[in-house]
Amino acid sequence: MDVNQHVNNTNYIDFAYEVLPKELYENCDFKNVEIEYKHELRLGDKIDCIYTKPANDEHIVTIKNSNTGVVNAVVKLF
């Protein structure tokens, strides 16, 4: 957490890794990571992390607030 009680940016990568399929996580060799921040996560927020894999080899995890449905960030791993 930072001084404003927002989740530290590096935690978004940890959240994304937690929902990757096991075989992908164990063998991941990502060269790039992009995080598009949409809305801050605050202390006590509950989140859902949704993994999708599009056709272009970008593994995408959408992080959103469980209560409001607001998207907090989109993490792209490729």
- Domain spans of the chain? 10-77
Q: H or E stretch including 34? A: strand 33-37
Model pTM score: 0.87
CATH number, domain 10-77, options 3.40.50.300, 3.40.50.2020, 3.10.129.10, 1.10.150.170: 3.10.129.10
Cα-atom radius of gyration of the chain, to the nearest Å?
13
Find tokens 């992908």 and name the residue.
24
pLDDT tens track for 24-48: 888 878 899 999 999 989 888 999 9
The contacts of residue 17 (CB under 8 Å, 6+ apart) are 25
pLDDT of 68:
95
pLDDT of 13:
92
